[in-house]
Amino acid sequence: MAKVGFIGLGIMGEPMCRNLLGKGHDVTVYNRTPAKMGPLVAAGANAATSLADLVRRSEVTITMVSDPAAVQDVVTAKGGLLGALSPGKTYIDMTTVSPEASRGIARMIRDTGADYLEAPVLGSRKPATEGTLVILTGGDAGLSRRMEPLLLSMGSRVIHMGDTGMAAHMKLIINQIMGTILCVFAEGALVGMEAGLEAEKILSVLRNSVVACPAILLKGPDMLGERVFTPNFPLKHAHKDMRLAVETGKAAGIPTPVTKAACDLFGAARDAGFGDRDISAVLRALTDR
Ligand SMILES: NC(=O)c1ccc[n+]([C@@H]2O[C@H](COP(=O)([O-])OP(=O)(O)OC[C@H]3O[C@@H](n4cnc5c(N)ncnc54)[C@H](OP(=O)(O)O)[C@@H]3O)[C@@H](O)[C@H]2O)c1
């Protein structure tokens, strides 16, 4: 069992931590908003007094925060990870970030003598709770293998994608496709409903068609039904991922016009106040015009 420090107790981080505790690891937690540490401390975690305190108590430090800027904050802040990591310690970032951001963090961590692994996840609140996330790793293959038993405390599969940046690339591809699919699903279904098709029938035919896919089957009923948009994957993070996918395409010299159009819809929904609702609230960018 490992001494694990976990930073970022949001929708994903909180259940991931519970699974680490459930598997018997010695877990120390830290969250920018300290109140979120309470339930995990009640469940057996130690509360760190600072980021540096958490790193000092841990063999492996994990971050699961919002975006590249948040990772940068945690790593470079006064009293942050950079000043506390040292040879023999490992830092794993599970946040969805760009390949470029991950490589930048890797360079900084290398100077501390600690090991760095990127490990973004596939799956939302439910797989995080059930411990069935698919975890993509980027970085040294031997390090990925050594970390696999720990990562499997939070997931059902670990897939090593290659060097640092490759797991970040793969994660963005998935979210770029998911975000775009949901946008075009919303467009098509709204037109059909306006013309008189019933939501139930649209969903039923889709389910039996060549375009049936988990994203639509999971999000479609609420998007065409009650439109509660319970935040499992917050729209603001989906927008961030679409933006990172467009930037990553640009850096690679590959045009991404479809992703860019979908990204703009996410931006409009966010500007309209749906950033903290679910990714599926992107539909509101079409209905609220
Ligand atoms: N939700 C999903 O379905 C899902 C699935 C796969 C991957 N992801 C990715 O996983 C990451 C976390 O997602 P989530 O849904 O758990 O997000 P979330 O619920 O919004 O939680 C974000 C966490 O990051 C912390 N944070 C934000 N900015 C920070 C900063 N500058 N310094 C320190 N801590 C900071 C927040 O602290 P506070 O509590 O103080 O705000 C919170 O603990 C994101 O990169 C997301 O894209 C999410």
In SS3 terms, the chain reads as CCEEEEECCCCCHHHHHHHHHHCCCEEEEECCCHHHHHHHHHCCCEECCCHHHHHHHCCEEEECCCCHHHHHHHHHCCCCHHHHCCCCCEEEECCCCCHHHHHHHHHHHHCCCCEEEECCEECCHHHHHHCCEEEEEECCHHHHHHHHHHHCCCEEEEEEEECCCHHHHHHHHHHHHHHHHHHHHHHHHHHHHHCCCCHHHHHHHHHCCCCCCHHHHHHHHHHHCCCCCCCCCEHHHHHHHHHHHHHHHHHHCCCCHHHHHHHHHHHHHHHHHHCCCEHHHHHHHHHCC
- Is residue 90 domain-shared with residue 198, that is, in the same domain? no
Check whether 88 has a pLDDT greater than 80. yes
Residue 171 Cα to ligand 1 middle (Å) = 15
The domain in which residue 208 lies consists of 169-287
Instruction: Assess whether 208 and 270 both reside in one domain.
Output: yes
Ligand 1 atom nearest 125 alpha carbon:
3
Q: Which of these three, 146, 162, 178, is where a domain ends?
A: 162
Domain boundary (118, 147, 162) is at: 162
What is the torsional sign of CA 190, 192, 197, 203?
negative
pLDDT digits (tens, 9 = 90+) for 191-225: 999 999 999 999 999 999 999 999 999 999 999 99
Residues 192 and 258 both lie in one domain: yes
Phi, psi of 256 (to 5 degrees): -130, 55
Q: Do residue 18 and residue 156 come from a single domain?
A: yes
Q: Verify that 142 and 199 share a domain, yes or no.
A: no
* Radius of gyration, alpha carbons of the chain: 20
Q: What is the pLDDT of residues 213-267, one digit of tens each?
A: 999 999 999 999 999 999 999 999 999 999 999 999 999 999 999 999 999 999 9
Pair 191, 154 in one domain? no
Q: Whose CA is nearest to atom 39 of ligand 1?
A: 33
Cα pseudo-dihedral 10, 14, 15, 21, rounded to 10? 160
Ligand 1 atom at minimal distance to the Cα of residue 32: 40
Q: Look up tokens 């903290």; give the residue.
A: 276
pLDDT digit string (tens) for 42-86?
A: 999 999 999 999 999 999 999 999 999 999 999 999 999 999 999
Ligand 1 atom nearest to CA at 33:
40
Tokens of 214: 């988990």
Query: Which ligand 1 atom minimizes the distance to the CA of 122?
Result: 6
CA triple 190-194-198, angle to 5 deg: 80
Q: Look at residue 289 and tell me whether its pLDDT is greater than 90.
A: no
Same domain membership, residue 157 and residue 178: no
pLDDT of residue 288: 87
What is the residue with the minimal CA distance to atom 33 of ligand 1? 32
Q: What is the CATH number of the domain that holds 254?
A: 1.10.1040.10
As for ligand 1, residues whose beta carbon falls within 6 Å of it are: 8-13, 31-33, 36, 64-67, 70, 73-74, 95-96, 121, 124-125, 232-234, 237
Provide the domain count of the chain.
2
User: Does 174 score more than 80 pLDDT?
Assistant: yes
Distances, alpha carbon 145 to alpha carbons 72, 142, 166, in Å: 26, 5, 16
My answer on whether 98 and 83 are in the same domain is yes
Residues 177, 151, single domain; the answer is: no
Single-letter amino acid code for the residue at 132: T
Does residue 225 share a domain with residue 82?
no
- Report the separation in Å between the CA atom of 283 and the middle of ligand 1, taken as the mean of its atom positions: 23
Q: End of a domain among 162, 185, 215?
A: 162
Name the residue of 18, 65, 243 whose CB sits within 8 Å of the most ligand 1 atoms, as the mutation to test its pocket.
65
Mean pLDDT value across the chain = 97
Read off the CATH number of the domain in which 157 is found: 3.40.50.720
* Distance (Å) from CA 196 to ligand 1 centroid: 40
| pLDDT over threshold 80, residue 176 | yes
Q: Are residues 150 and 178 in the same domain?
A: no
Instruction: Return the pLDDT at 227.
Output: 97
pLDDT digits (tens, 9 = 90+) for 145-172: 999 999 999 999 999 999 999 999 999 9
Q: Are 195 and 105 found together in one domain?
A: no
Q: Given pLDDT bands bounded at 50, 70 and 90, which one contains residue 99?
A: very high
- The confidence score (pLDDT) of residue 1 equals 87
The residues carrying an active-site annotation are: 171
Q: What is the distance in A from the centroid of ligand 1 to the CA of 166?
A: 21
Taking the centre of ligand 1 as the mean of its atom positions, its distance from the CA of residue 116, in whole angstroms, is 20
